[in-house]
Amino acid sequence: MSGKLFPLKGKIKPGTRYRLSAVFKLKNVTPGKNIRGAPGCYFSGYAWKWIWFPRGGPVFTGTTDWLFREYEFTTPPEGTPAKYDPNLGFVLNRATGEAWIDCLTLEEMED
């Protein structure tokens, strides 16, 4: 797996809704053959558990112009033990090609 991970320790709060947004571009992103999981390019985060976006859908592959995407998620309630220090990333997982990302934003949403 290659990509960029951004540490979030001390920057996110429990039981809070967030919006992740970014623009990205792909060139010849091709999943490996005979690989389980989600080969391709996607946003990934972990602390309490692994999360990835797009959820439940295909990962990003191929060649694209600049694309904008945004996703919303809620962190677990206070007191939920984290398995890892929180991080957010944009990764190329078990695939070949190139990916660029810009304007990555994580914002707390109001209730």
CB atoms within 10 A of CB 93: 20
User: What's the pLDDT band for 40 if we cut at 50, 70, 90?
Assistant: low
Residue 35 has pLDDT above 60, yes or no: no
Long-range contacts of 32-37 (CB under 8 A, 24+ apart): 32/94, 32/95, 32/96, 35/94, 37/93, 37/94
- What global pTM score does this model have? 0.77
Give CA separation, 10 vs 4, 66, 83, in Å: 19, 31, 15
Greatest CA span in the chain, whole angstroms? Answer: 43
pLDDT of residue 81: 73
**Among 106, 76, 57, 83, which residue's Cα sits nearest to residue 14?**
76
